[in-house]
Chain A
Amino acid sequence: MAAKTLDRRWIFLFLFIGVALPLIFVIGLPIETTENVRAVYQMVEDTPAGSTVLISFDYDPASKPELHPMGRALLQHCFEKDLKVIITALWPMGVMMANDILDDLQPSYPNKVYGQDYVNMGFKAGGMVTIQAMGKHFKGIYTTDSNGTPVENIPMMKHIDNFENIAFVISLSAGAPGVKEWVQVAGDTYGRQVSSGVTGVSVSSVMPYVNEQKQLTGLLAGLKGAAEYEYLIGHPGTATSGMDAQSLAHLIIIIFIIIGNITYWRNKKKQKKEV
């Protein structure tokens, strides 16, 4: 069958060019916001200034293009709303991912002081069990921040004992442990408002948590979700600039699906005739 004999490297080449061209020649296609992204935005907007929030960086460089722009946009939004941000990581590389964004944002927010306005508490293993322990006694798990500074010496951590002292939790999740564990423990057990930004791969499996029970308050779904959030806060970044390429790549994949189907049905017809 022709569909089977076409060298797949042609498909690879088409896709490569299809993604590269819109990055060089920017089209600037429009971005429309969705209900779930607006819900996350509204949650941050409605949180009173001075509140402490928790953002968990549960991903590694494999998901960086999708989740990094979300993390960046969320931190920008929190800084602009004067929210104090505790950063945690259920994945060891999440620590570096968060620091990468913080280093990048530092020049734009010179008045934000480490330890007073934001803190990176680092990585802890154990997933669900560790979140459960955080909910009982946060400082029992996080005895120091990621730099090794004792938690008692970090001004913004002085009044943090458990999830009661945190306005909301956002998990930037690339899998397990991640959003599921945060929903199950921080949300359903300790009653905190939980939201999330997830990779495209996990969107469908996380969707059931976005329901009337408010297990999840909104959801940022993949690069599109990140681009929508960048649009809402008015700071276009890498997600926005990647959306043109995303559109063209999707079109190429759809065209190949159509070609594959046409070839299949044509061959089937031919085979029937021969019989």
Chain B
Amino acid sequence: MKRRIPLTITLIVGLIVICSEFIPHRPFSQISSELEVWFMIISGFAILLGQLNLIKTNVLKIQYKQRNWPYFVITLASFFLMVGTGALWGSQQNAGLLGHGTAISSAIGSKPFDYLFNNVYQNLQATMFSLLAFFIASAAYRAFIARTTESILLLAAAILVMLGNTSLGTLLTGWLPDSLSFLHLPKVSEFIMKYPTTAGQRAIMIGAGLGIIGSSLRIILGIERSYLGGD
């Protein structure tokens, strides 16, 4: 019951979805459409599961006073602050349990949930990812060394694309006559992207596509069962 029923559900659902593509009539089309709506609703619960799991793991870390545990108190406090403001006064045009919170919204300029998102969350996330600009520059300096033919190709493509993608490329080779316009850096960059890069990425895409098709079939037929976990 713990394994056989889930495997049967996967088989039936997978086959219905595939059949509905080739037999777009009732009952397949109808069941498949219903399944898609169910999928979205269950995905919603899966997202909630993620957040609840975050609470659980953080509470456990605090309970057992793990290393740096006070920081996890901050995580939980921020989570409940965001959920609390959203639940009480809603977000944007959506009302919360206490309505739209007109008084507090007019005082701070927007709903508390939106205020937190715009002023705190947006800045935190954007800055967190902008750190990568520094690390990519440092990594380029340390690791981008022309040692072999492969690394020379990698390096050359990277530099040409980087130059071609900026106004600098336009300035550097903008003076070239029409007969040599194919050497104009933005054009070189466009050429690299359109042909050799597309070729390489397409090979990866075809390979990955075949892999996904294979594993999908293995899952539907019950050969691949790792998604069910242990026991």
Contact = CB atoms under 8 A, between A and B. Distances in A.
Interface in B103-157: 114, 117-118, 121-122, 125-126, 128-129, 133-134, 136-138, 140-142, 144-146, 155
Contact of A250 (B37, B168, B170, B205): B168
Interface size class of A (residues with CB under 8 A): 35 or more
Contacts of B37: 133, 140-141
Best-surrounded residue of A16, A60, A251, A260 (most CB of chain B within 10 A):
A260
Nearest to A246: B166
B133 A32 contact: no
B201 A205 contact: yes
B19 interface: no
B40 to A, nearest CB: 4
A137 B36 CA distance: 11
Nearest to A31: B167
A4 B202 CA distance: 36
B159 A254 contact: yes
Interface string A96-119: 100110000000000000000000
A35 interface: yes
Contacts of B177: none
A251 B168 contact: yes
Interface stretch (A40-48, A79-87, A121-129, A151-159): A121-129
A247 B166 contact: yes
B33 A140 contact: yes
A11 B93 contact: no
B21 to A, nearest CB: 9
Given A34-B186, A61-B126, A146 B201 contact: no
A11 B159 contact: no
Nearest to A203: B193
A25 interface: no
B67 interface: no
A140 to B, nearest CB: 6
B52 to A, nearest CB: 16
Contacts of B159: 254, 257
B166 A129 contact: no
Most chain B CB within 10 A, of A126, A130, A261, is at A126
A208 B205 contact: yes
B201 A124 contact: no
B40 A3 contact: no
B40 A130 contact: yes
A270 interface: no
Contacts of A99: 92
A126 B40 contact: yes
Contact of B202 (A8, A19, A133, A208): A208
B170 A32 contact: yes
Given A15-B133, A32-B186, A136-B33, A61 B138 contact: no
A254 B133 CA distance: 13
Interface in A70-97: 95-96
Contacts of A34: 186, 190
Interface of A: 3-4, 6, 8, 11-12, 15-16, 19, 29-32, 34-35, 60-65, 95-96, 99-100, 124-126, 129-130, 132-133, 136-137, 140-141, 146-148, 203-205, 207-208, 210-211, 221-222, 224, 243-244, 246-254, 256-257, 259-261, 264
The 4 closest A-B pairs by CB, nearest first: A29-B167, A147-B93, A133-B36, A247-B166
13 contacts: A8-B142, A11-B138, A29-B166, A30-B174, A64-B122, A65-B126, A130-B40, A147-B94, A205-B204, A210-B194, A253-B140, A256-B140, A257-B159
